Amino acid sequence: MGSHVMTPEQMRRGPLFWPRWVLLLLLLGMVAALTPIFVLSGSATATVPAKGQYVPQARTYYIGADEVDWNYAPSGINQITGAAFDDTAAVFTKPGPQRIGTTYVKSLYREYTDASFTSLKPRSAADQHLGMLGPVIRAVVGDTIKVVFKNNLDRPVSVHVHGVFYDKSSEGAPYDDGTGAADHGDDAVAPGTAYTYSYKVPDRAGPGPMDGSSVMWMYHSHTNEVGDDYAGLVGPMVITKASAARADGTPNDVDREFFVQFKVSNENASPYLQRNIDRVAADPASVDTGSEGFGESNLMHSVNGYVFGNLPLDAMTMRKGERVRWYLMGMGTEVDLHTPHWHGNTVTALGMRTDVVSLLPASMVVADMVPDDVGTWLFHCHVNDHISAGMLVRYRVTDADSSGNGNGNHSGHS
């Protein structure tokens, strides 16, 4: 048998002069080292989604812009005090020869069952608190959203979304952006016509490193952005991360969700001002639209389109110990600095424990609450002028074993 020891001369002259047994050992070592890489890469291409792993989907919404009569105080009284409107509240609520009162013509986004736009989709118990807001658009990171939009109004309007990914043909805003006519059909959908908007939901549309399992965006008409906003064309959108999404797109670590908009709805800047005067004021010809008193009477300091606690309490009810997520947004102008405050319970928002958050026009804040204090509580803007003008609602916390009102995401913790 030959020697199994390499001589110094063989080592010096390099691998071409090494014995075959040394070269064989080196080859076997390389194969052993590379085998796990090839095995893992091959198995990765053959991997199927794990059980329960989210599969992205296309979600389609049929949304119309409709003209409706909206009453900011349908009960006819101040629900916060339980009494008739006092002189301060009457500034905003009392109709008269030169006053409109609490009912106005509005344009609202409403959801339909299909592309025929013949049947409204009934609002669920969970959505009864939305009031004037449009339907909640939901999606999960990785999804595609399609909004089939029908303009049932007498003027052009659009749908413009925040946060998600869209191209110029789905932006919904008219301005000189250097594009051609093919990309402008979305900017101003003509009365009586429909248009389909398409949006992608990439990672950057979903929760960030300091967010919870879902984040809020909004959508609104941007054809005449100021007039369309005051007419009422605004709605909420929620994007949930894939690892925390139920099949319907709701976050699986939340039991109940509320969407709340604080806004001084300036009816003086609505495209329906003259129609509201002609239709409701007792003496339309005598109305001086430039008078300070008339202008003030049309500043509706609202929460989801309600003033002086008229947002139904049943729609703002939860159980003790539930995981409740509040999605808050502001709109409006320089007077729309709002500080929503919850009595009785606290929330975590922006990584902090608090019971007051801050909103500016078009800002959005997500706040999580696990209510531990049973009772009926005030929820209001803490700006003094806004308190006097009726920007207040109530919410209710029932015992944990209460049957509740069924307006949650599901019946128990997942």
Q: Which residues are catalytic?
A: 381
Distance CA 265, CA 333 (A): 10
Phi, psi of 59 (to 5 degrees): -115, 125
* Type of residue numbered 245: A
- Return the exposure string of 271-285: e unless at least 16 CB atoms fall within 10 Å of the residue's CB, then b: bbbeebbeebbeeee
User: Could you tell me which residues come within 8 angstroms of residue 333 by beta carbon, excluding any fewer than 6 positions away?
Assistant: 264, 266, 361
Distance CA 219, CA 226 (A): 14
Closest CA relative to residue 257, chosen from 352, 376, 353, 136: 136
Type and span of the H or E element at 12? helix 8-13
What are the C-alpha distances in Å from 356 to residues 178, 191, 366?
Answer: 43, 42, 12
State the alpha helices, DSSP H only, in 137-291: 225-231, 273-280
Half-sphere exposure of 288 (CA within 13 A, CB side): 4
Distance CA 348, CA 367 (A): 5
